[in-house]
Structure 1
Amino acid sequence: MRRLSKLSRLLPALLLICLSAAGPWLAPYAVDTPITAPYAAPSSEALLGGDQLGRDVLTRLLLGGRELIASSVLVAVLVTGAAAVLGAISVLRPAVGRIVERVADVLMLLPSVLGILLITLYWPGGGRLAVIAAAFVMGVPYAVRLAAGAAAPVAASGYVEAAAAGGERLWHLVVREVLPNLRATLLTLFGLRFVAAVYVVATAGFLQVGPQPPAADWALMIRENAPGVLLNPWAVVAPSAAIGLLAMSVNLAAATFAAPTGRKPVIIL
């Protein structure tokens, strides 16, 4: 029964990721080929209607999630890894911890939209790498505080103190003593940072400082089709729902993996 419960929590994320990965083979039309009138209503020819140029909304929906998912996963991995290492070092070396804390405080004061614009507009060439960099910079300050808070009681435990007294180097203490005891916390943190990364990447797409037309991207679809939302709501509702379901389902899956045995998982929405 418990395995079935876990599987049911994993299925939504797996389904969305598999659909996005298989998008090129499932798409009924070419991504940039107009097949209907602009903002045409759903029909047998186009199940979700047409977008602002008459392109098939379903085709662009199937193709629009791959890069967003890949970028968000990469950002979540990088942020969680950097925060885990910095958090562990911060509690093992208080002098370094004070510097990390001050830098994090400064970066947390920067509004997210302003940070996205500053990094993406001044990044050479802009594009997807600039969005990933912006999401990384905006995500680490929050994550490092959570990681440091979780690492503090581990660093104060007897076996870590014994290893330090025995002359073990800092890197050994971080990798072998502290981080293995933070697996549940880091998995939950990964889910949280994935949601935040989806928000940042989608915001960049909506602001058109990331992927550019005619690319198929869920956030870009919302921006492009907003003027015709009353004519064909599916052109906006479908990618909006996909982004929301993606964030919630991956977070749910991460919380399921992170749940200690015998305890109820904490789901961060």
Structure 2
Amino acid sequence: MFERNLSTRAAVAIILSFILVSIIGPHTLNHEDVENWDNLSYWRLNPQGVPPEWYGELVGLPKTEWLQGERQAGAFVFTYDFHYSSSPSDIIFIPNSTGVMRIKIIGPDGREYILWDGYVFGEIHFSKNPSVFVRIAGEKCNVTPDGGNLLFHDAFNVIFSKPTEDCLDHPEFLKGEYKIVVEGAEKEPRIRVLGKSYGLLGTDTVGRDVWTGFIWGMRETIVIAILGSLATVGLALVLGTLSVLSSWVGKIADFVSRLVTVTPVLPVAVSAVVLVAAIDENYVIKASPLAIALIVGILMMGNVSRNVRSMVEEELRKEYVESARALGGSSLWILRKHVSKVLVPYTVYQFALAVPGTIAFITLLGFFNIVPGFNWGTIMSQTIREGATYRLAWWQVVPVGVSIGLLALSFVSLSRRIEEEFLKR
């Protein structure tokens, strides 16, 4: 008994935790990130497809960060604390003015190397300028790598390595404070180091913050799941109950119930969503969450409605029903006053089972590029939507998968408890 109570309390705690996070979490996010989710240029300052920062700390991957600068002797000096086992993927220079500028980096050993010396029109992504690394490799390591080959190497190894002959492929990293000095800038520029880790849940293949998608999508996912499950049990209760009547209403309800039971859910759901949805400028199918919830509710109610019908038929054969009929009670009155008391616990039990199934279903729709609003299906569909080659990145898949698993186990545990109470009665 104690173990059952403990598991029930844990299940309720997990469910309430997800609901609480889905309510509070979105208010902690930058809404510009959400509004620009499909604006690929908005995410250009993020590294692409990198794991979370906490994972990066464990394996020595540099994090993504803005550098703080200060004015010294007419120049702007930015400090970068490098203490990692891998070099950053890029350094981005964002000027607030144009003109001739000289940008150099000074290592902890005092050696300095020129990154840029010329006119600056706009953003500079140093990773896209292989000639800089070829020159620095010659000055620092006495090697002259081919500029084209640098595209397939960590070119920044040359900058953050000790002056050894194999500083490109097998660098010995020189850790400490690096200074990036900008001369000739009228206004303070900004410098962003693109590391190989980012945020709480990393980034996807185009640089979007997975944590933003996960938290913002949680709310709508849970809303659709609850509304869809309510539609499932509500429609099943109505159809299953009415289908036992001998009138034309009962015959129609029975026909619809049987039809939905044998209908293949996934292909019909995809077709139905396409009919009620719209395609935006990015060729993404968008549908109203309420429409998705109703479609899911209708398609998933078949077996539940047949079970409800069987329960109603069994109840109608009992003696107390015959007594009620002898006293003049109509079929609808008997269903409402007596049979409904048996059906309510069962529908609550079915609701607890339907919620995780609905969450898994709408997430699965993401693989078909059907995104009803902004939910966990959005994360699953993003690589398909951008036409990118799918690469299994655990920080994109695991959070959603574990969350669905926890919610499923919690609702199943809760439904078993409801079932036990139902059987006692």
Fold equivalence (TM over 0.5): yes
* Corresponding residue for residue 259 of structure 2: 106
Among 118, 123, 129, the alignment partner of 2:271 is: 118
1:245 Cα deviation from its structure 2 partner: 2.6
* Contact 2:245 2:251 (C-alpha < 8 Å) held by counterparts: no
Among 12, 15, 38, the alignment partner of 1:13 is: 15
The higher relative CO (CA closer than 8 Å, separation ≥ 6) is in: 1
* Contact 2:356 2:404 (C-alpha < 8 Å) held by counterparts: no
**May I ask how many residue pairs the two structures share in their alignment?**
260
CA distance in 1, matches of 2:7, 2:51: 39
* Corresponding residue for residue 406 of structure 2: 245
Matched, 1:191 2:340: no
1:68 Cα deviation from its structure 2 partner: 1.4
AA of the residue aligned to 1:220? T
* Contact 2:349 2:419 (C-alpha < 8 Å) held by counterparts: yes
AA of the residue aligned to 1:52? T
* Contact 2:235 2:298 (C-alpha < 8 Å) held by counterparts: no
CA distance in 1, matches of 2:421, 2:323: 26
Matched, 1:80 2:233: yes
TM-score normalized by the length of structure 1 = 0.82
CA distance in 2, matches of 1:67, 1:178: 35
Unpaired runs of 5+ residues, structure 1, are: 264-269
Cα pair distance change 1:109/1:51, threshold 3 Å: same
Cα pair distance change 1:129/1:162, threshold 3 Å: same
CA distance in 2, matches of 1:230, 1:124: 29
Instruction: Render the CA deviation track for 1:82-139: whole Å, top value 9, x for unaligned.
Output: 2122222333548755543433333333322221122112226543233223212211
CA distance in 2, matches of 1:107, 1:231: 36
Give 3-state SS (helix, strand or coil) of 1:260's partner. helix
* Corresponding residue for residue 67 of structure 1: 220
Cα pair distance change 1:114/1:232, threshold 3 Å: closer
* Corresponding residue for residue 24 of structure 1: 26
Cα pair distance change 1:197/1:41, threshold 3 Å: closer
Cα pair distance change 1:20/1:124, threshold 3 Å: closer
Instruction: Render the CA deviation track for 1:212-237: whole Å, top value 9, x for unaligned.
Output: 6xx3x212201214757647321122
* Corresponding residue for residue 202 of structure 1: 363
CA distance in 2, matches of 1:88, 1:221: 39
For the pair shown, the structure with the greater C-alpha radius of gyration is 2
Between structures 1 and 2, the one with greater helix share:
1
Give 3-state SS (helix, strand or coil) of 1:40's partner. coil
Between structures 1 and 2, the one with greater strand share:
2
Unpaired runs of 5+ residues, structure 2, are: 55-197, 279-286
Cα pair distance change 1:81/1:117, threshold 3 Å: same
CA distance in 2, matches of 1:23, 1:188: 29
Cα pair distance change 1:164/1:208, threshold 3 Å: farther
Instruction: Render the CA deviation track for 1:36-70: whole Å, top value 9, x for unaligned.
Output: 31111221541221123312212221111111111
TM-score normalized by the length of structure 2 = 0.54
CA distance in 1, matches of 2:344, 2:22: 28
Among 35, 39, 46, the alignment partner of 1:36 is: 46
* Aligned positions of 1:34-183 closer than 5 A: 34=43, 36-44=46-54, 45-93=198-246, 97=250, 99-123=252-276, 125=278, 126-183=287-344
After superposition, the CA RMSD in angstroms is: 2.9
* Contact 2:273 2:292 (C-alpha < 8 Å) held by counterparts: yes
CA distance in 2, matches of 1:103, 1:182: 20
Cα pair distance change 1:27/1:254, threshold 3 Å: farther
* Contact 2:8 2:413 (C-alpha < 8 Å) held by counterparts: no
Matched, 1:221 2:385: no
1:164 Cα deviation from its structure 2 partner: 2.7
* Contact 1:116 1:200 (C-alpha < 8 Å) held by counterparts: no
